[in-house]
């Protein structure tokens, strides 16, 4: 992704690994501060996933793969059995971080599968590191292809609603929902992006807006409950969101509030697209009822981070001290509200059970 730092534009990936160290953009500090953090072992990498220094299904998956690679590189020398046990413990640690984004589980399981056939510790290290890098390369290529296919759905002059952040920060680059938008902008189409703030962590207001600003893409941040207003006024022509897990029937888990936007789009006759790679489809989940939904701490609802008039980052409470809160991180959008899926294999239309299986089964 393109990042402007002190007047100079540089290209960054969201996460990458050099030697045994995982490097990533700390998304908790954006948009007010751009900082790269370094994670020295799988425990630090797992914590970065848990505390949302990195977030977004694709980026989480790649980060988890790198965490397994770190474990393989740092495992004590000794027997193959001890090596495998060490790596499997790292896998348990990483899988326990966040339950909904299936990319994480796919990535870890792929690394574990290549380990099964290894006959020496050295072979295990080499194959796991190679698999982690392959997962990262596939993530990058998939997000690029999603942009190419999705661009065809965007017309000159369109207003496009997004929810949460499914941009380059959520993958290695390009993103999913933002990838078609990037391609449309670079093709010279005049578009305007309506950016849902996405409470409670405000990934839209903080991250999506920041990414669009870096690219010079016309956008406006709106509060979450303003989307219907702009739809009814004819200012929004399509909705594009990402996904954290897609069941085999097309039911889709994404950031909390996505379901509401899909219903509004249907009511207003606006196409609702989900942009996601193969890694986000969970063919073992028959419907949205099989998708685990993460519930995070109530403090994310009760408190917000921001920068005051002096430029100092502060956390302030916005609810009464004794009022409890609930905080589901995701909801499930039934397949009937989804116009199509934008994937690296092309656009998938209904009937979803047959066409998803045909594409990824």
Q: Is the dihedral of CA 266, 142, 28, 41 positive or negative?
A: positive
Residue of 139, 173, 196, 244 with catalytic role: 244
Q: Are 240 and 162 in contact (CB under 8 A)?
A: yes
User: Is residue 191 exposed (0-12), middle (13-18) or buried (19+ Cβ within 10 Å)?
Assistant: buried
User: Is residue 43 exposed (0-12), middle (13-18) or buried (19+ Cβ within 10 Å)?
Assistant: middle
> What would the 3-class secondary structure string for 324-352 be?
CCCCECEEEECHHHCCEEEECCEEECCCH
Cα within 13 Å of Cα(157), Cβ side: 1
Ramachandran category for residue 130: left, alpha or beta (phi over 0 → left; psi -120 to 50 → alpha): alpha
Give the Cα-Cα-Cα angle 253, 196, 259 (nearest 5 degrees). Answer: 30
Helix ranges (H only) for 75-208 are 80-95, 102-116, 121-151, 178-186, 203
CA distances from 104 to 146, 329, 344 (A): 20, 16, 18
Q: Quick one: CA torsion of 265, 267, 268, 269, rounded to 10 degrees? A: 80
Cα 59 to the center of its chain, rounded Å: 6
**What does the DSSP assignment read for 257-287?**
THHHHHHHHHHTT--EEEE--GGGEETT--S
In angstroms, the first-to-last Cα distance of the chain is 32
218 is catalytic: no
H or E element at residue 74: helix 57-74
SS3 category, 37: strand
Active site residues: 244
């Amino acid at each position: 992704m393109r990042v402007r730092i002190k007047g100079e534009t540089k290209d960054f990936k969201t996460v990458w690994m050099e030697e045994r160290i995982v490097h990533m953009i700390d998304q908790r500090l954006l948009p007010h501060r751009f900082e790269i953090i370094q994670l020295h072992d799988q425990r630090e990498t797992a914590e970065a996933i848990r505390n949302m220094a990195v977030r977004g299904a694709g980026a989480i998956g790649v980060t988890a793969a790198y965490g397994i690679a770190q474990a393989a590189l740092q495992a004590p020398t000794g027997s193959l059995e001890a090596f495998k046990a060490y790596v499997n413990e790292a896998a348990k640690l990483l899988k326990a971080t966040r339950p909904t984004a299936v990319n994480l589980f796919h990535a870890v399981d792929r690394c574990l599968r290549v380990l099964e056939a290894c006959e020496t510790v050295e072979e295990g290290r080499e194959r796991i590191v190679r698999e982690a890098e392959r997962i990262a390369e596939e993530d990058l290529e998939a997000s690029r292809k999603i942009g190419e296919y999705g661009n065809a759905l965007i017309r000159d002059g369109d207003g496009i609603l997004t929810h949460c952040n499914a941009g380059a920060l959520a993958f290695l680059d390009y993103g999913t929902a933002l990838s078609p938008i990037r391609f449309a902008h670079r093709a010279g189409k005049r578009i305007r992006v309506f950016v849902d703030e996405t409470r409670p962590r405000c990934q839209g207001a903080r991250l999506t807006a920041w990414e669009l600003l870096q690219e010079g893409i016309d956008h406006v941040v709106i509060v979450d409950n303003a989307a219907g207003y702009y739809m009814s006024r004819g200012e929004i022509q399509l909705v594009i969101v990402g996904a954290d897990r897609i069941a085999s029937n097309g039911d889709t888990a994404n950031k909390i509030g996505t379901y509401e936007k899909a219903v509004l789009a249907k009511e207003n006759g606006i196409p609702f697209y989900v942009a996601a790679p193969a890694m986000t489809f969970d063919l073992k989940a028959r419907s949205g009822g099989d998708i685990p939904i993460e519930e995070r701490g109530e403090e994310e609802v009760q408190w917000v981070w921001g920068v005051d008039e002096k430029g100092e980052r502060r956390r302030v409470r916005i609810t009464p001290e004794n009022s409890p809160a609930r905080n589901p991180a995701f909801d499930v959008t039934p397949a009937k509200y989804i116009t199509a899926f934008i994937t690296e294999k092309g656009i998938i239309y209904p009937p979803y059970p047959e066409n998803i299986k045909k594409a990824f089964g």
